[in-house]
């Protein structure tokens, strides 16, 4: 018998010190670490607040985003009912910011989801297959990096038009490469890990190795890089809109608002400042959350 | 070749026969237009393993023991040579045939934590071989078998849903052993299973492996760089150097009267936990450094560091011949 | 004459998210010139952290209290500038992994001459010749040519010798070696230990050797200290510790080491897992695993006192020596 009586007594003491039967999965561990990062948690709260305001705010406000009010043109903020003032057509800035936020965030999330999906598929395939195919796929990624995205974006938008989905597609086309690279790198390193070798030694079929062993261990980097991609995408959309190539009137986004505000910034600076501040704060939040996630999911902390 | 231990195995058929196994890797050469160079990790190894016996494989870094272990299971493809499992030559075998072999041969790895998927819990890790090879079993049946094998290796039932990072190194290695045991294989290949563990935990795992082997009548291939550790577990010991076998002997014979100069040097270098003996000891120093596996010396690979080398050693490769009924050595001294 | 090293009640604490972890607790020992001292322990024993604290190399979240007198001056409370003059000059340290302790971007020559220019104010030329001389002393062949090479061009054993050479450049009074041979092959380890022995004999350098390998300690050290969970378990001369151990942990450790010469088939396997440094018992840290445990062991810390059987040996245990020795055969688990 392996354990003697003396061992039983020791083992019983150990058992008491042992935690509850349901183990602490690596995700739960990471969640705990994330929650301890104050900056990240605050950023998350702020982001949630902004998102909720953008979604539900316009419903409770008594102004429409596109109603012109000729009596209240270019009102400065904090006076009367227009909390953030109005623009040169008398449209309430706060509501326009919130509507703009809807569009910016939506474009941001949609384009991110698309580029994440493309990036994962591209990167995991390249990483797992290796060899010449990997080389070819990564050279294509390099070529995409080399293309000046703004010029091509201008070209695409001019040719294809400025529909909402086309803007999303254009942004996706230039945002998936980071994710592909990162996923490929992670797949490569996972492939040579001992537990993958152990799975092969057991005789686990390749398909199951990919789904049970490689993919779950990819999710960590995917989550991190997603939160890094979102601000980039939102910024790209804002830049396109600023250049007049993004969302069309009467839809608005933060980029459009900044474009409009910059035109009159010497006489109505609030029209520039508020959208800028909103955009900056949102980007800041995503960055803090991304940092927090990176620290939380850092494998060295295990 | 099979002179060693014929009596103890009673004329049984070997579980595993390896003949002239070579595992070569392509390495890039130096310079702007590099020549293709070959790294001969395993360079002509022969061995026989009988059911229920433990074979220890010893050697220092670069000797090819880990590569050999992986080639036996086709984790690394063999370049040439024959690996015969239960009478079936696996040369050019199809993946499905290897799948059959894998039901009977399992592996325990060196780094206990790295060999376990951090996102799977103990139940999933240990149950994986069952799910792969016996998909007809129900979830509850799998759980029962997992619990049984956990008890066998000294793990508590309440640890069933824990994750690898919540365990110590020794416990992780027990999980790895449990995973290897669950299919009740005929052979377990252990690749340096205790090198990464503390001394007191090493002893636990070594004792565990010995007990399991006796209870389940398994064969074990125990790979290590520590001669003292190997001594406790093995019946026969194989000494490797730069991809070749230097000596193959019965345990007692090897430690009492090592034949090959490399074995002698290795034995004298093992530090003893005994101050007087250790200080009085005459260590047989090996001259020079380990040659690069990319360009091994001609003839006997050990000759560049051997205190007894002479002319023949450089021109001809010494075969592994029986020196007495209990040991074989590859050396021109015999 | 003041002792070379006089450590009094050294404590090392770390601030971690899980709370304060006390890695080293109440460590005291003294070392004369030219003596060799071995600190033995497994993971979590605090052996490395105690020396890191002495050298001022603790991580940012670590803090040390107590006294660590070097030639009468307290290293722990010394200002950084003064400590820098002593580090590398009077006290040198070598680490386990020679690859990461040598700067891969600088030639060996640059790394060595830098030390001499910094501490001895030598010119580049005289530093170079002294460096070559030291490399020859550590038996690096063709030193004058090789000194211009980069670390990655050397083998592991040679890199460790370069580290030793660098440590000896300023002819320090004390050399602290933290697991210097753990990453090396057995034959290379033997060479390295032989080198350390010779250097110690020739230069009279005091050596503190930190390791988990009892064999290595037996070969080099006059005095030995056994640590567990950050506390001293037993401390005495090498002869006393190896031939007349009286502490349950020491007995267990010595019994767990696989021996070449011992015919006994089973190793002593101390049950349990390495200590969780964030949650140590209030009493003896070994109480959770000790086969001789009594009720008071978990709550009352045993004082480190001269042993009943030999006043030169210090021992921290509630059990009387006679009890432990009498029951050792039967109680120690195998």
Interface ipTM: 0.85
How far apart, in whole angstroms, are the C-alpha atoms of residue C237 and residue C244? 10
CB contact under 8 A, B129 and A203: yes
Class of domain A33-56+92-301: mainly alpha
Total domains present in chain B: 1
B114 chain-A contacts, CB cut-off 8 A: 193-195
Provide CB contacts within 8 A for B123, sequence distance 6+: B143, B146, B160, B161
Residues of chain C in contact with residue A14, where contact means CB-CB under 8 angstroms, are: 272-273, 288
Pairing of strands B36-49, B16-28: antiparallel
Q: Residue A7's closest chain B neighbor by CA?
A: B154
Q: Which residues of chain B fall below pLDDT 70?
A: 1-11, 29-31, 34
Nearest to A181 by CA among A235, A109, A124, A117: A124
* B198–C268 CB contact, under 8 Å: no
Kindly identify which residue of chain C lies nearest to residue A36, measuring between CA atoms: C17
Tokens representing A77 are 């903020």
> Which of C187, C255, C264 is the best mutation test for B, with the most CBs of B within 10 A?
C187
Burial string for B71-105 (b: 16+ CB within 10 Å, else e) reads: bbbbbbebbebebbbbeeebeebeeeebebbbbbb
- Chain A residues closer than 8 Å to B75 by CB: 197, 200-201
What average pLDDT does the structure give for chain B? 87
d(CA B328, CA A226): 61
Residues of A in contact with B156 (CB under 8 A): 11, 15, 18
* Order of strands across the sheet that contains C314-315: C91-94, C174-178, C206-211, C36-40, C223-228, C231-237, C314-315, C305-306
| Cβ separation A10–C279 shorter than 8 A | no
Alpha helices in B182-226 (DSSP H): 199-216
What per-residue confidence (pLDDT) applies to A245?
Answer: 79
Q: Do C17 and A10 touch (CB under 8 A)?
A: no
Residue B286's domain is classified under what CATH number?
3.40.50.300
Asked if C253's CB is within 8 angstroms of B200's CB, the reply is: yes
The whole-angstrom separation of Cα C291 and Cα C271 is 8
DSSP C78-112: S-HHHHHHHBTTTEEEE-S-HHHHS-TTS-HHHHH
Residues from chain A contacting residue C273 (CB–CB below 8 Å): 14
Which of C198, C212, C267, C276 to mutate to test binding with chain B, by most B CBs within 10 Å of its CB? C267
Element (H, E) at C175: strand C174-178
Residue B19 within any structural domain of the chain = yes
C79 burial type by CB count under 10 A (0-12 exposed, 13-18 middle, 19+ buried) = exposed
pLDDT tens readout for residues B274-317: 888 888 887 777 877 788 888 888 888 898 888 888 888 888 88
Return the partners of chain B (3 or more C-beta pairs < 8 Å). A, C
Which residue intervals of chain C bear CATH 3.40.50.300?
Answer: 5-221
**Low pLDDT (below 70) residues in chain C:** 1, 262-265, 334
C278-312, pLDDT tens digit by residue? 888 888 999 988 988 888 898 998 988 898 888 88
C87: which strand partners?
C91
Q: Where are the domains of chain A?
A: 33-56+92-301
Query: How many Å apart are CA A237 and CA C11, to the nearest integer?
Result: 57
**Gap between the Cα atoms of C166 and C127, Å rounded:** 12
- A6 → closest Cβ in C17, C273, C333: C333
Q: Position of tokens 């390295």?
A: C192
Give residue B318's domain range. Answer: 6-329
How far apart CA A217 and CA A158 sit, in angstroms, is 41
For residue A114, the model assigns a pLDDT of 92
Q: Who among C279, C289, C331 is closest to A10 (CB)?
A: C289
Cis peptide preceding B237, ω within 30 of 0:
no
- The strand pairing partners of C7, in sequence order, are C29, C68
Give dist(CA A26, CA A215) in Å, integer: 15
Q: C5-221, superfamily in CATH?
A: P-loop containing nucleotide triphosphate hydrolases (3.40.50.300)
Chain A residue nearest residue B114, CA to CA:
A194
Decide: B275 and C224 in contact? Cβ < 8 Å.
no
Compute the nearest-CA separation of C42 from chain B (Å): 6
* A35 interfacial to chain C (CB closer than 8 Å): no
Q: How close C149 gets to chain B, by Cα (Å)?
A: 17
Mutate to test the interface with A, among C16, C19, C267, C271 (most CBs of A within 10 A): C271
Pick left, alpha or beta for residue C119 (phi over 0 → left; psi -120 to 50 → alpha; otherwise beta): alpha
Distance of alpha carbon B273 from alpha carbon C320, whole angstroms: 25
The alpha-carbon gap from A179 to the nearest alpha carbon of chain B, in Å, equals 21
Q: Which two tokens stand for residue A263?
A: 């035109």
Low-confidence ranges of chain A (pLDDT < 50): 1-6, 9, 12-13, 16-20, 301-302
Could you tell me how many CB contacts below 8 A there are between chain A and chain C? 20
- Identify the helix (H) or strand (E) that includes residue B241: strand B236-241
Q: What does chain C come to in residues?
A: 334
């Amino acid at each position: 018998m392996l354990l003697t009586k003396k061992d039983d007594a020791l083992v019983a003491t150990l058992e008491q010190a042992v935690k509850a039967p349901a183990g602490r999965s690596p995700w739960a561990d990471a969640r705990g670490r994330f929650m301890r990062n104050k900056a990240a948690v605050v950023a998350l709260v702020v982001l949630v607040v902004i998102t909720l305001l953008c979604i539900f705010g316009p419903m409770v406000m008594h102004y429409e985003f596109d109603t012109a009010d000729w009596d209240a043109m270019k009102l400065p903020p904090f006076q009367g009912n227009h909390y953030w003032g109005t623009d040169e057509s008398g449209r309430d800035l706060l509501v326009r910011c919130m509507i703009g936020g809807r569009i910016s965030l939506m474009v941001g999330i949609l384009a991110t989801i698309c580029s994440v999906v493309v990036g994962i598929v591209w990167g995991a395939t390249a990483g797992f297959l290796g060899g010449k195919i990997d080389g070819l796929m990564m050279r294509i990624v390099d070529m995409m990096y080399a293309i000046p995205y703004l010029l091509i974006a201008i070209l695409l938008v001019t040719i294809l038009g400025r529909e909402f989905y086309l803007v999303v597609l254009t942004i996706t086309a230039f945002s998936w490469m980071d994710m592909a690279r990162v996923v490929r790198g992670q797949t490569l390193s996972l492939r040579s890990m001992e537990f993958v070798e152990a799975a092969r030694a057991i005789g686990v079929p390749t398909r199951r190795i990919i789904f049970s062993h490689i993919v779950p261990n990819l999710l960590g980097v995917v989550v991190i890089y997603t939160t890094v991609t979102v601000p980039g995408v939102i910024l790209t959309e804002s830049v396109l809109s600023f250049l007049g190539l993004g969302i069309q009137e009467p839809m608005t986004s933060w980029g459009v608002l900044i474009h409009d505000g910059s035109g009159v910034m010497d006489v109505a600076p609030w029209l520039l400042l508020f959208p800028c501040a909103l955009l900056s704060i949102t980007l800041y939040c995503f960055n803090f959350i991304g940092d927090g996630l990176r620290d939380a999911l850092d494998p060295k902390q295990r | 070749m099979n002179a060693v231990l014929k009596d103890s195995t009673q004329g049984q058929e070997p579980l595993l026969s390896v003949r002239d196994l070579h595992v070569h890797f392509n390495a890039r050469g130096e310079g702007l237009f590099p020549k293709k160079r070959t790294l001969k990790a395993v360079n002509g190894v022969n061995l026989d393993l009988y059911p229920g016996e433990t074979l220890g494989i010893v050697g220092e870094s670069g000797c090819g023991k880990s590569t050999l272990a992986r080639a036996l299971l086709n984790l690394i493809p063999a370049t040439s040579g024959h690996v015969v499992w239960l009478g079936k030559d696996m040369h050019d075998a199809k993946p499905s045939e290897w799948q059959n072999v894998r039901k009977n041969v399992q592996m325990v790895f060196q780094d206990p934590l790295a060999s376990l998927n951090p996102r799977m819990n103990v139940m999933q890790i240990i149950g994986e071989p069952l799910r792969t090879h016996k998909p007809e079993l129900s979830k509850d049946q799998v759980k029962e078998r997992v619990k049984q094998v956990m008890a066998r290796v000294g793990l508590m039932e309440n640890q069933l849903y824990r994750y690898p990072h919540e365990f110590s190194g020794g416990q992780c290695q027990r999980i790895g052993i449990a995973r290897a045991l669950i299919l009740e294989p005929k052979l377990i290949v252990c690749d340096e299973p205790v090198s990464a563990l503390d001394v007191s935990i090493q002893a636990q795992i070594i004792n565990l492996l010995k007990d399991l082997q006796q209870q389940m009548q398994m064969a074990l291939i125990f790979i290590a760089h520590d001669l003292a550790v190997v001594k406790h577990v093995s019946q026969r010991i194989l000494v490797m150097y730069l991809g070749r076998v230097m000596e193959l002997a019965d345990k007692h014979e090897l430690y009492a009267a090592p034949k090959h100069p490399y074995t002698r040097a290795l034995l004298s270098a093992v530090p003893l936990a005994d101050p007087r003996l250790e200080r009085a000891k005459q260590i047989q120093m090996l001259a020079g450094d380990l040659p690069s596996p990319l360009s091994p010396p001609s003839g006997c690979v050990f000759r560049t560091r051997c205190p007894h080398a002479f002319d023949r050693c450089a021109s001809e490769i010494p075969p592994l011949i029986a020196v007495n009924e209990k040991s074989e050595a590859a050396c021109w001294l015999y | 004459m003041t002792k070379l090293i006089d450590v009094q009640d050294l404590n090392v604490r770390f601030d971690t998210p899980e709370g304060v972890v006390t890695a080293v607790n109440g460590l005291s020992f003294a070392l004369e010139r030219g003596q060799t001292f071995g600190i033995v322990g497994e993971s979590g024993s605090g052996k490395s952290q105690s020396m890191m604290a002495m050298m001022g190399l603790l991580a940012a979240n670590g803090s040390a209290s107590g006294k660590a007198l070097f030639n009468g001056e307290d290293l722990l409370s010394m200002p950084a500038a003064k400590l820098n003059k002593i580090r590398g000059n009077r006290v040198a340290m070598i680490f386990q992994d020679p690859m990461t302790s040598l700067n891969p971007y600088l030639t060996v020559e640059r790394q060595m001459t830098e030390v001499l220019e910094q501490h001895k104010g030598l010119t580049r030329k005289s530093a170079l010749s002294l460096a070559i001389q030291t490399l020859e002393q550590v038996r690096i062949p063709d030193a004058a040519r090789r000194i211009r090479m980069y670390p990655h061009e050397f083998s592991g054993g040679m890199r460790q010798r370069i580290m030793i050479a660098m440590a000896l450049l300023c002819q320090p009074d004390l050399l602290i070696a933290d697991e210097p041979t753990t990453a090396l092959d057995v034959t290379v380890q033997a060479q390295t230990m032989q080198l350390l022995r010779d250097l110690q004999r020739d230069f009279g350098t005091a050596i503190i050797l930190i390791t988990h390998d009892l064999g290595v300690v037996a070969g080099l050290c006059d005095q030995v200290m056994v640590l567990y969970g950050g506390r001293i378990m037993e401390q005495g001369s090498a002869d006393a510790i190896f031939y007349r151990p009286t502490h349950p942990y020491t007995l267990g450790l010595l019994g767990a080491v696989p021996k070449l010469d011992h015919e006994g088939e089973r190793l002593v396997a101390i049950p349990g897992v390495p200590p969780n440094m964030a949650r140590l018992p209030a009493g003896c840290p070994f109480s959770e695993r000790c086969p001789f445990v009594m009720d008071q062991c978990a709550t009352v810390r045993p004082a480190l006192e001269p042993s009943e059987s030999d006043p030169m040996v210090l021992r921290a245990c509630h059990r009387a020596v006679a009890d432990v020795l009498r029951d050792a055969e039967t109680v120690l688990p195998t």
